Amino acid sequence: MPQIAIVHDNFAQMGGAERVAETIYEMFPGADLLSTLTVRERLSPALKNATIRNTWMQYLPAKSRFYRHYFCLYPFAVEGMDLRNYDLVISSCFGYAKGINTRTDATHICYCHTPPRWIWRYGDYSAREGFNPITRILLPPLLGGLRQWDIKASRKPDYFIANSEVVAGRIRGIYKRETVVIPPPIDVERFSVGVQVDDFYLVLSRLVPYKRIDLAIQACGRLGRRLVVIGEGPDRARLESLGGRGVTFLGRQPDAVVVEHLSRCAALVFTGEEDFGMAPLEANASGRPVIAYRGGGAIDNVIEGKTGLFFDFPSIASVEAAILEFERRSWQPAALRRHAESYSRQSFESRFLSFVNSVSGPSVTRAEQHVNA
């Protein structure tokens, strides 16, 4: 059997990238899972119970709070990983993992969630994270060296996989590398089509400024529509100050509450620009349509007029117009569900394993047979 390693940037939170890394790891029984550092209490039950081999960064102080602040240390950590025993290495990368060193005869496949925003789209990233003026002045001089390292690191994978056409374009533009697009898996079985639909709109998101949840709040307020916001984050106080009596903030909620609200909402309002964005497909899996900003991964996974509607400008008026247009249309829950099923975990595994086998030879074909046994 081939020796296989799955390497993820860090397990400091549980988001879309971590769910993809978890899925890939589960596809290869017997593979080793490696990362720079892990905050285990934030992870899914499966990852909490997984054996994760971490680097020396695991012992840095207050890593759960300051893991982003250690950005200059990650290149040293990933380059220091010992991967000499592995025939196939799959890196799950939104930052640094593509820079690992492998044997010259090993195959390295990088599943790239995006080239790191803090390096290549700093203005966008600093606005998203709400950096203070001092940080905005001090940080850019440090990024020149990281850009050089990132370009060098981008030459190490044998193959790139992107999660969306938008990210594939960034990889071509920044790294000058070709890529295949395989969208991340949606756990369709978590969701079900509800029998009752209510009149509220739903936001399901981390509450940070770049998500532009303020647009949904103010548009619904001006139209007199109910809005439920599920999620937590540093922008909550400001957003609550914008909401009127028709806006309900539920904070972070368990999975059962999220699933229930997705199946009952009139529509999910998706105002941010994401590299892929799983929430619209989770709404579709629940039989509900999406009102989304026309940008990022939503362009790939929202079919206008069939699974949702777009608004073109990040403005209150543009969101209002989309809501009014949405209410003039009818939607077919079964069709929405079928669309989401095309992004299912089974579909992802089939496409991913097919690509791995096409580039890795017969030794990894045996790994696929093991997975499918």
Q: Which domains does the chain have, with CATH numbers?
A: 4-185+344-367 (3.40.50.2000), 188-341 (3.40.50.2000)
Give residue 200's pLDDT: 97
Report the C-alpha gap between 111 and 108 in whole angstroms. 10
When pLDDT is cut at 50, 70 and 90, the band that residue 154 belongs to is very high
Handedness of CA 233, 238, 241, 246 (dihedral sign): negative
Q: What is the pTM of this model?
A: 0.83
**Cα(271)–Cα(205) distance, integer angstroms:** 10
pLDDT at 274: 86
Lowest-confidence segment of 64-78, 136-150, 335-349 by average pLDDT: 136-150
pLDDT at 361 > cutoff 70? no
Calculate what percentage of the chain has a pLDDT beyond 90: 75
What pLDDT does 372 receive? 42
Name which of 108, 105, 132, 136 is nearest 122 in CA terms: 136
Type of residue numbered 370: H
Residue 267 φ then ψ, to 5°:
-165, 155
Per-residue pLDDT band at 339 (split at 50, 70, 90): very high
- As a whole number of angstroms, the longest Cα–Cα distance in the chain is 63
Backbone φ and ψ for 270, nearest 5 degrees, come out as: -120, 95
- Order of strands across the sheet that contains 290-293: 247-251, 226-230, 200-204, 267-270, 290-293, 308-311
Structure tokens belonging to residue 219: 């548009």
Q: What is the pLDDT of residues 196-211, one digit of tens each?
A: 899 999 999 988 888 8
